[in-house]
Structure formats: structure tokens, C-alpha cells
Amino acid sequence: MSDSDIQTADAVIVGAGFSGMYLLHRLREMGLKAIVFEAGTDVGGTWYWNRYPGARVDVESLAYSYSFSSDLEQQFEWKERYPTQPEILRYARHVADRFDLRKDIVFRTRVTAATWNDDARDWLIRTEYGEAVTARYFIMATGCLSSSKMPEIPGLAAFKGATYHTAHWPHEGVDFTGQRVGIIGTGSSGVQSIPVIAEQALDLTVFQRTPSYSLPARNRKLRPHEVTDMKARYPEFRQEQRESGAGVPVPIPTRSALEVADAERDAVYEAAWESGSLVNLLSSFTDLAVSQDANDTAKRWIHRKIHEIVEDQAVADDLCPEYPFGTKRPCLDTNYFETYNRANVHLVNLQRTPLVEVTEKGIRTSEREYEFDAIVYATGFDAMTGSLTNVDIRGRDGLSLRETWRAGPRTYLGIGSAGFPNLFMITGPGSPSVLSNMVVSIEQHVDFVADAIGHLREQGLTTIEPTAEAQDAWVDHVNEIASHTLYPKANSWYMGANVPGKPRVFMPYAGGVGEYRKKCDEVAAKGYEGFALAV
């Protein structure tokens, strides 16, 4: 490739989800030339790909939305408390139109490699089509949950019927009427899609390895006064979000679950369950995330609920998770447990009868073969690191990100990694990311990155890169916080446990969105302490 074939930009952004879209807007406003590469054919990221039946967000719409533009906040009309995928995609498209973003986004194009050139002090970024762009700043806005995963079982290609993955759902939808359907996976995507598929399919068999904790979403249309009230107090509400633990303001608990009488504790759980809000239950008491005994009270209470809803008590037993509540991503659902009372729905407990293979006709477990017309894989993602290590990123002296992270991701603040100058990650491992309302975390990271770039330009500097010392200290700090919680007790995707061979490291920062923001603000105020800046 000759030099004339290589485009130049100030920044290359990978991904046009909520992260990449806002970043493009910010960098453009600062006068930078930024190019976004996006594998999909439109904006929206998660909400572009995950079109499975029942797909919804489980943070309320008025809170799961950008705060950077007051006009946008005031003018966009959300319809539901927990909007469906089409509604969130409509929002993403509205944002793209309003800020004229598409003209700088190259769709249908996957970035495959990026190499740092220490002489030119820029990145050479390559796409699947061999195009190349040089840019001083390279930003991976590739999403924590965008690298989808199939189960590691033999015979995946053998099945003669239709195969779907929830994260690559056909845009035209799927009609399961009259079909025998098998679904593998009971995480968020499974929990949301199972009730909807069950209503349509002739017969649905659910293959469950690990049950999920799930609460009824109690979704409904937003009332006009709720929208008006929120729009009137958005500035205060956004500030509360930024200072909160998970990007969703809730009263801070003051009591241990172990210091209240059983009846009172049950009443607190009941109120949280009725509210249709995950954070209400997660923050019912001070110690659910840190004390096994406290957590057991929530666990037993939810088990009781599942046994009340599900008529067949043996099925209810199988649906009760044993790991501590909240240590794997809990779900919000609409009629999930009720669905197991339908005559056309069957649960297969893979802990008792493991998957053996996919066959021409269906799925074989250690017990028997099940025949299907269609198989749905709700098997999730290579979370947090997958979309970063999928790209062959080479930093100083050819250092490979994939290799450097072989024993687990190492970042400073979840934003940068030592040895990779001017590489930024939005909601990377080591930041609150998936433990939070992600739009809040995305905006905070985008603002940090844009401000850091602004600082370099103002000071006549060209590179920024975490120091090894600051990174080591941050990784220790993230691990230290996780070690005081119950998170490491579950085999979760937070721990990389759903990907065979992936190191078991608790990846997100569990210290809370507000605390984390304070730390980032301090770092910036001290001239980007912990980063090496150079001319």
C-alpha cells in the first residue's frame, strides 16, 4: 500500500454505539477530524444487534439516556418505563440525525489491527478491507458486551434446522409459530426472550446451566406527569446519577440485613420486588454485596418467591440460583418464572444432564436427544475484553495487547494500558462499566478522554500513556475492592467464567460510579497523575 492510500485523521474511533456516537460529537466540537468505523450497518451498538424478542433495557428510559444535551433530553419522547430494543434504537438514530453523526461513520467495516508508530507518534489502523488510516488518537468504543459467544460444544454446524444467536437476530424478525424450539442460556437475553418465544412456539425447551436471579420489571407506559417531572428536574437528577453507586440514584442503605427482624426484612424485599427495580433490591441493606449471611437472606427470600410462582416445585428448585444474589448480573423480566407453568415449556438442568453435542436434528444431553426446528443461542458475550482483544493492537515495540492481557486485563482506570500510548478504552476493564447504568459511565469516560486530548493539544504535547506503577497500583486497588465483596464467589461473566480458558479475574471496578468519578477528576486535576505525558 502506498502512502497515498492511507487516510489521515486526528482520531479513529471503533464502534458507533452510545460510546462512539458521543465521542464523535465531542471530538468534532473540539475541532478534531475523527473517523468512526462500525461493523454494523447503522448506529446503536447493542441496540442495533440485539433484536431478539423481548429485548429491553433494565434501567429506566429517563435515566438510561444521554445527559450531554439539554435540548435532546427535553425533546425526545420516551414511551415506556423500560423501553424495548426498537425504542432505544430509535433514540440512537435520532441522536445520529440530530448531531449529523453518520457523515463521519464508516459502516459495515470491522477494524482488525492497529499499530503504534513511535517515530510518527501515531496509530496505523487497518480494516478488514485493507483500508488504512493514521491517527494520533485511537479509541476503542467497542462495547463491553459486543463480542458474542457460542457454546463450546461439538456439532454446532451439524444442525439442519434454523439457528439464531440473540446478539445477531435477523432484522426482519423470526416467526416461531408451530415450531419446536430449543434455547440455550438463561442469562439476561434468555430470561427476556423465553417468555415471548414460549407464547409463539409450539414447544420450547430451555437448556439451563446456571439459573439467574430475576425480578419482575413491572414495565408500563410512562405517565405524562412522570416525564414532565423528570424533565423539570433533569439537572439535579443527572448530578445524583453521577454521584451514585451504580448510576441510578437510590437512597443509601443504613442498616445491615442482619440487624432487622425477619418480618421487617421481608417487607423491605417485598417492596423492592414490587417496585420493579433491580437497584432497589440490590441496595436494600448495607451488606448484601459483602456478607454471605446478609446475602443469604435475600437469596432465601427470592427462592421463596420462585417457589410461589412456579407450580412444579422440582422445576422451581432447578430455577433457584445458589450463588450469592447480585454476584452475576441479575435480570428484570416479564413473566419469566410464570412461563415455566406453561404446558409447552420444559426446563433441562444442564448441571444434572450436561450438553453433549448439537446434532442434525437438535441437541443431545448426557440423557437424551431433543429434536427441534430451531435453536436459539442466548449464550452471551466474551465480556469486557473480547471486543478489545479481537483487534490486533500493537503498542510500543510491537507489544501486543492480546498477549499483555493473557493473564487478565491490566489497565489504569479502565481507560488506558501501559505500553499503548494514545490508546483509550471507553468503559474498559477496571472501570465501573457493567456494574453501572452504562450511559452514565460512557459519558464520564468520553468526557475524560476528550478532556485529556484537549489538555495535550493545549499544552503542545503529543502522547499520554499510563505509567506501569500507576497501572499496577490501580489493578491492585480494583482487586482489593473486589476481594471484600462476594462477586468472586460466582462463576460469572464479570469473572470471565463463561469463556473456557479465560483467566478468572473480576474485571469491573466495584467501588461505585461516584467514587470512581472522584478519582478520575482528581487524576485530571493533578495534570493526569499516573499518566506519562510527552511532547
Ligand X SMILES: Cc1cc2nc3c(=O)[nH]c(=O)nc-3n(C[C@H](O)[C@H](O)[C@H](O)COP(=O)(O)OP(=O)(O)OC[C@H]3O[C@@H](n4cnc5c(N)ncnc54)[C@H](O)[C@@H]3O)c2cc1C
- Counts for the chain of helices (H) and strands (E), in that order: 17, 20
Q: How far is the CB of 183 from ligand X (least distance, A)?
A: 15
- Shortest Å distance, C-beta 468 to ligand X: 27
Q: CA 519, CA 515: separation in Å to the nearest integer?
A: 6
* C-alpha dihedral sign at 336, 161, 42, 129: positive
Q: Please state, in angstroms and as integers, the Cα–Cα distance from residue 50 to each residue in 91, 147, 401, following that order.
A: 15, 12, 28
CB of 97 to ligand X, least distance (A): 17
- Four-point Cα dihedral 81, 82, 86, 90, nearest 10: 50
Identify the residue among 61, 67, 179, 189 touching ligand X (CB under 6 A). Answer: 189
Q: Which of residues 461-520 bind ligand X (CB under 6 A)?
A: none
Give yes or no for residue 208 binding ligand X (CB under 6 A). no
Q: Is 277 in the site for ligand X (CB under 6 A)?
A: no
Q: Does residue 19 touch ligand X according to CB under 6 A?
A: yes
Amino acid 37 reads: F
Could you give the 3-state DSSP secondary structure of residue 467? coil
| Separation CA 318–CA 154 (nearest Å) | 25
Residues 49-88 that bind ligand X (CB under 6 A): 50, 55, 57-59, 64
Member of 391, 452, 486, 505 binding ligand X (CB under 6 A): 391
At residue 311, what are phi and psi to the nearest 5 degrees? -70, -45
Site membership for ligand X, residue 20 (CB under 6 A): yes
Among 10, 11, 13, 18, binds ligand X (CB under 6 A): 18
**Furthest-apart CA pair in the chain: how many Å?**
75
Q: Rounded to the nearest whole angstrom, what is the least distance from the CB of residue 77 to ligand X in the complex?
A: 20
Q: Say whether residue 387 binds ligand X (CB under 6 A).
A: yes
Distance CA 88, CA 61 (A): 8
Residue 17 CB, shortest distance to ligand X, in Å, is 2
| Contact (CB, 8 A) for 439 and 66 | yes
Report the C-alpha gap between 67 and 234 in whole angstroms. Answer: 8
Which range binds ligand X by CB under 6 A, 237-245, 283-291, 413-421, 434-442? 434-442
CA distance 178 to 518: 55
Report if residue 242 touches ligand X, rule: CB under 6 A. Answer: no
CB of 100 to ligand X, least distance (A): 18
Q: Which stretch binds ligand X (CB under 6 A): 34-42, 153-161, 477-485, 495-503?
A: 34-42
Q: Minimum distance from CB of 84 to ligand X (Å)?
A: 11
Q: Which phi and psi angles does 486 have, rounded to 5°?
A: -90, -5
Q: For binding to ligand X (CB under 6 A), which residues are involved?
A: 14-20, 37-40, 45-46, 48, 50, 55, 57-59, 64, 110-111, 141-146, 188-189, 387, 390-391, 426-427, 437-438, 442
